[in-house]
A = this chain, B = another copy of it.
Amino acid sequence: MRNFSRGDVFAAACPSRQILQHVTSRWGGLVLIALREETLRFAQLRRRIDGISERMLAQTLQVLEGDGLILRKDYGEVPPRVDYTLTPAGREISARVFALSDWIEKNLPELLALTPDAAPQTVQ
């Protein structure tokens, strides 16, 4: 297997592609954005991200933690208390994901004007 010292998302086998995949996954990006400004607990994240199931949130958090982008802090209390914070790398990536979503949010009216045919396409 090749050694990717710089990363090439166009190469299927490059780890950078996997990471890009994780941070742009259905829920990954939203989690990163939500944690952009503050540390949040599991239930807070769940409330903030409309539509995510508990299972998916737990799974997404694990993947992102596995990538070293978020830090999971377990207070070992009962009832359970756990919170999540971005690592420095996570903050860098989060900022960029946010730049993307923010542009889309701000330009939504213009974007919607581009789609006169309300085509309800579904991908991912």
Interface residues on A, range: 35 or more
Main secondary structure of the interface of A (DSSP, over half): helix
Kindly report how many copies of this chain are found in the complex they form together. 2
* Distance from A32 Cβ to chain B, minimum over Cβ atoms (Å): 10
The answer to the question of A21 belonging to the interface, with a C-beta cut-off of 8 Å to chain B, is yes
With beta carbons under 8 angstroms apart, the residue of B10, B60, B96, B107 that contacts A103 is B96
- CB–CB B7/A121 < 8 A: no
Which interface residue of A51, A67, A111 has the most chain B CB atoms within 10 A?
Answer: A111
The verdict on A121 contacting B66 (CB below 8 Å), with A20-B101, A93-B104 known, is: yes
The answer to the question of A43 belonging to the interface, with a C-beta cut-off of 8 Å to chain B, is no
With beta carbons under 8 angstroms apart, the residue of B16, B60, B114, B117 that contacts A89 is B114
Residue of chain B at shortest CB distance from A100: B96
Residue of chain B at shortest CB distance from A21: B124
The answer to the question of A54 belonging to the interface, with a C-beta cut-off of 8 Å to chain B, is no
* A residues in contact (CB < 8 Å) with B: 4-12, 14-16, 19-26, 28-30, 33-34, 48-51, 59-60, 62-63, 66-69, 87, 89, 92-93, 96-97, 99-101, 103-112, 114-115, 117, 119, 121, 123-124
